Amino acid sequence: MIWNEKCECMSREELTALQTERLKKLVKTSYENVGYYRKKMDDAGVTPDDIQSLEDLTKLPFTLKDDLRDNYPFKAFAAPMTDIVRLHASSGTTGKPTVVGYTRNDIETWSEVMARTLTAGGVTKDSVMQNAYGYGLFTGGLGAHYGGEKIGAAVIPISGGNTEKQIMLLKDFGSHAISCTPSYALYLAEVMKEMGIDPRKDLQLKFGIFGAEPWTHEMREQIEEKLGIRATDIYGLSEIIGPGVAFECEYQDGLHINEDHFLPEIINPDTGEVLPEGSKGELVITTITKEGIPLVRYRTRDVTSLRYDACQCGRTLVRMEKVMGRSDDMLIIRGVNVFPSQVESVLVKFEEIEPHYLLVVDRINNLDTLEIWVEMSDELFSDEVKAVESVRARIGEQIHSLLGLHAKIKLVEPKTIERSMGKAKRVVDNRKL
């Protein structure tokens, strides 16, 4: 289903004209109202009058997360505080948080793009939608909430955690859709199994809308199998707007970017060079309708690629491939680039283990080491040592075949690796300590 055919299915010519008009307005507003943008553009020798087409976008300097931290809390805002009706912020685990301000128009835009997102994921006005994204300063909960209400769905604002109650409400309220992180969806399936609940027989759940962390196609297959649902991927960043930047349709063939609001580019993360269609690189987004805190060429650090070919669903919006990781989260081990999602793609193929893992990186005698902790299934844990060693060896062989390096595989007892109610922690890099 399509929420807004006029915007999601417009011709490329119409879309380009709209994007150009909005880009010119954005640059002018940013230059006039945000001090650091004016300085950045002055230093680059570019003025708003130099931006007359989408091709001129490359004349503009990039925006980094550090720019937002350096202008904490409100100096990055283009709108006066009297027009700001909502404040959100990142966790700030690496320093000052990045703060995002929303005007009333920004909230309406957010609701609109999330209505598109949830509709594509299977939510309708007749749905009961259980929203297990966290509420609060994190943007996930309220973003999904307002999108669901805009559609007309009955939204259950349960937030994250309280897993047994989540399952009780899924059953008692007859929830048709759930929104949460994919790692939490797998945890829900695990607890359901322990409680003796069969999702296909005991629940009315049909759709899952999952995001906030990278996840593989193989992980999708596990979620769909364990919960008996269609699992769709969504993408967003707190700095951009929150969830709703991009979404999968029923064909699960790339995520449609809401291009009438977010202008995407793919760059080489090392050189900043814009790459051609289909190239894998870092996603850069310009927010062409944001009023509270507009972002010009914001470097997301997420690694993906863009496709402009037609989608079977009828939408004409560009599609991005599932994010494989972040350019700043990529591990370099003995000269080999390693993303957690690559390791996950191997692990989920083994029925003898659970989809919970941790990459532990260290440096011993000046040599980088990689140890992969993986939870055994209850069956494997109670099996013979020979069976355990066989699984360990096969995992090690496949990791070596994929990455070209040897990793120590540590099979740990069930429930050993910490569960997350939000984004799963996948890496411990002791080299940084």
Q: Mean of the pLDDT values across residues 73-85? A: 97
Give the residue numbers spanning the domain of 373: 331-432
Q: Residue 254's pLDDT is what? A: 97
Given a cut of 80, whether residue 328 has pLDDT beyond it is: no
Count of domains for the chain: 2
pLDDT classification of 433: cutoffs 50, 70, 90: very low
Query: Average of pLDDT values for 264-278?
Result: 96
Q: What is the pLDDT of residues 109-135, one digit of tens each?
A: 999 999 999 999 999 999 999 999 989
Decide if pLDDT at 96 tops 60. yes
69 and 55 in one domain? yes
Measured between alpha carbons, how far is 178 from 206 in angstroms, rounded to an integer?
9
- More reliable by pLDDT, 180 or 326: 180
178 with 40, same domain: the answer is yes
Do residues 410 and 265 both lie within one domain? no
Q: Between 398 and 423, name the one with better pLDDT.
A: 398
Whether 198 and 271 share a structural domain: yes
Please state, in angstroms and rounded to a whole number, the distance separating the CA atoms of residues 121 and 140.
16
Same domain for 311 and 414, yes or no, is no
Q: Mean per-residue pLDDT for 288-311?
A: 96
Tokens coding 71: 């202008």
pLDDT tens digits, 33-77: 999 999 999 999 999 999 999 999 999 999 998 899 899 999 999
Q: What is the pLDDT of residue 424?
A: 81
Question: What CATH number is associated with residue 356?
Answer: 3.30.300.30
User: Of 272, 305, 328, which one is at a domain's C-terminal end?
Assistant: 328
Mean pLDDT of 209-220: 88
- Tell whether 258 and 273 lie within a shared domain: yes
The string over 330-364, giving b where at least 16 C-beta atoms fall within 10 Å of a residue's C-beta and e elsewhere, is: bbebeeeebbbbbbbbbbbebebbbbbbbbbbeee
Phi, psi for 243 (deg, rounded to 5): -65, 155
Q: Examine the domain organization and report whether 142 and 167 are in the same domain.
A: yes
Q: Where residue 94 falls among pLDDT bands split at 50, 70, 90?
A: very low
Please report which confidence band the pLDDT of residue 432 belongs to, taking 50, 70 and 90 as the band edges.
low
Last residue of a domain, one of 328, 346, 363: 328
pLDDT of 259 above 50 = yes
- Are 138 and 238 in the same domain? yes
> Do 175 and 254 belong to one domain?
yes
pLDDT at 396 over 90: yes
Mean pLDDT of all residues in the chain? 93
Tell me: pLDDT of 161 over 90: no
Q: Are 304 and 321 in contact (CB under 8 A)?
A: yes
Can you give the CATH number for the domain in which 300 is found? 3.40.50.12780
R_g of the chain computed on alpha carbons: 22
What is the per-residue pLDDT for 49? 97
Whether 216 has a pLDDT exceeding 90, the answer reads no
Kindly state whether residues 2 and 38 are assigned to the same domain: yes
Say whether pLDDT at 425 is over 80. yes
Judge residue 416's burial from the number of C-beta atoms within 10 Å of its C-beta, 0-12 exposed, 13-18 middle, 19 or more buried: middle
- Domain C-terminal end among 328, 363, 396: 328
Q: Is 327 or 413 the better-scoring residue by pLDDT?
A: 413
Within this chain, do residues 292 and 383 fall inside the same structural domain, yes or no?
no
**Residue 111: closest CA among 139, 78, 91, 135:** 139
Residue 302 in tokens: 């997420």
Q: How confident is the model at residue 144 (pLDDT cuts 50, 70, 90)?
A: very high
**Confidence band, pLDDT 50/70/90 cuts, at residue 93:** very low
Mean pLDDT, to the nearest integer, of 254-266?
98
The answer on 354 and 310 residing in a single domain is no
Lowest mean pLDDT among 14-28, 246-260, 286-300, 418-432: 418-432
Percent of the chain with pLDDT over 70: 97
